Amino acid sequence: MTRIDARFEKLRAEGKKAFVAYVMAGDPDFDSALEVVKGLPGAGVDIIELGLPFTDPMADGPTIQLAGQRALAGGMTLEKTLETVRRFREGDQETPIVLMGYYNPIYSRGVDRFLADAQEAGVDGLIVVDLPPEEDDELCIPAQKAGLNFIRLATPTTDDKRLPKVLENTSGFVYYVSITGITGAAAAQSGEVGPEVARIKAQTDLPVIVGFGIRTPETAEEIASVADGCVVGSAIVGEIADGRSVEEILGFVKGLAEGAHRA
């Protein structure tokens, strides 16, 4: 059982939905980003998604693109992202961390080396948005063998013919993208999301977590009520971009987490 599996088991026992928070590693700099990451569990975050900075993040909107650019300009690397995880693990051995990003930095490092380093650092799962199921032998299968969950995205355009292929080697949870398009682009609607979550859950026992388009505690509650939890990324990254203090950022996250946990 991975930390992700254990966390969902705990949440089920407590009758709670999951709140997942995304932040970009190294944004705006290594030290302040690390401070935010370390503070997320205390703000009510159940699972941390840590963005892996990359020069061409095609699934992301301007907010997260700019976060990646700030991180890269500040000298952030894959190695420093793993160091962020190591430093976090010095004080927290329970909160799951999922690295979210693109395949190029992993490929450049070498899959075997990356997986060994990620496991050693304390990474629990991967979301690699530009590797389709047809490429599972490339990273997904080796990751599972190394003890890491490989989390796949389903979208409004993932039809019933495609869905079984998407779910085939997925583990940890399914990330349902609530809107068609890039991150931070529109608001999620529970009336549209609910039937899609039900459709996915009819084909898998995995938890289904909904992301994209969630910016307020009210929307977090609304979306979490029709799923197993929700993810907020762009809204949190936007607070960082606006130069908020660590305390202000974590206060904002706390409100979102409380919304999701009310569901």
Query: Percentage helix, strand, coil, to 5, in the chain?
Result: 50, 15, 40
Single out the catalytic residue among 5, 46, 49, 222: 49
Give ∠ CA 60-250-212 in degrees, rounded to 5.
Answer: 25
Q: Are the beta carbons of 236 and 23 closer than 8 angstroms?
A: yes
* Residues paired with residue 192 on neighbouring β-strands, in sequence order: none
Single out the catalytic residue among 60, 124, 136, 221: 60
- Note the Cα 247 to chain centre separation in Å: 22
CA separation for the pair 141, 93 (Å, rounded): 25
Question: Tokens representing 233?
Answer: 């990324």
Please say if 60 is a catalytic residue: yes
Residue type at 86? R
Please say if 5 is a catalytic residue: no
> For 108, how many CA atoms within 13 A lie in the half-sphere containing its CB?
8
Question: Tokens representing 156?
Answer: 């409004």
- Work out the end-to-end distance of the chain between its first and last CA atoms, rounded to an integer number of angstroms: 26
Q: Give catalytic residues, as residue numbers.
A: 49, 60
